[in-house]
């Protein structure tokens, strides 16, 4: 009978110890689960931010590509204009028209138009029948 009591005491003690270790193990697993969930949330948030950055950078890249194409087209147009205006006839036309230059044995006559006074404009409107 004494052996039976000892065995029961040992069994009770073992159950008590296993219950304690079970609680520790359960706490440990719960803690790890919470940590893993936090890591998963952090990874998801980072992935979302990276995706939005990729979209924004792709948009900026396409805008830059469009600007590059437009700049290359304008550059080609300007090179074409340089070739057109670098001829002797084009330079002479620019000099004559814009810079008021003359060729040999030529004379420039500049006609200045005087602005019409405000009073004359009103008289013209009255003669035509306009009301101001």
Helix axes 88-97, 2-85, angle to 10 degrees: 80
Q: pTM for this one?
A: 0.44
| Residue that the structure tokens 């620019």 belong to | 94
Q: State mean pLDDT over 66-82.
A: 95
Q: Give yes or no for a contact between 92 and 103, defined as CB atoms under 8 angstroms apart.
A: yes
Q: Would you state the pLDDT for residue 128?
A: 59
Q: How far is CA 35 from CA 24, 48, 66, in A?
A: 17, 20, 47
Distance, in Å, from the CA atom of 29 to the CA atom of 111, rounded to the nearest integer, reads: 99
With a cut of 50, say whether residue 53 has pLDDT above it: yes
Q: What percent of the chain has pLDDT over 70?
A: 74
Distance, in Å, from the CA atom of 64 to the CA atom of 45, rounded to the nearest integer, reads: 29
With a cut of 90, say whether residue 75 has pLDDT above it: yes
């Amino acid at each position: 009978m004494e052996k039976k009591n000892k065995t029961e005491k040992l069994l009770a003690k073992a159950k008590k110890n296993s219950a304690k270790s079970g609680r520790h193990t359960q706490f440990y697993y719960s803690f790890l689960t919470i940590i893993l969930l936090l890591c998963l949330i952090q990874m998801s948030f980072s992935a979302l931010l990276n995706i939005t950055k990729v979209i924004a950078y792709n948009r900026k890249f396409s805008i830059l590509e469009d600007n590059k194409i437009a700049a290359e087209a304008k550059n080609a147009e300007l090179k074409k204009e340089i070739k057109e205006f670098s001829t002797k006839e084009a330079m002479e036309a620019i000099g004559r028209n814009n810079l008021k230059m003359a060729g040999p044995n030529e004379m420039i006559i500049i006609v200045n138009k005087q602005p019409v006074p405000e009073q004359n404009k009103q008289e013209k409107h009255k003669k035509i029948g306009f009301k101001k």
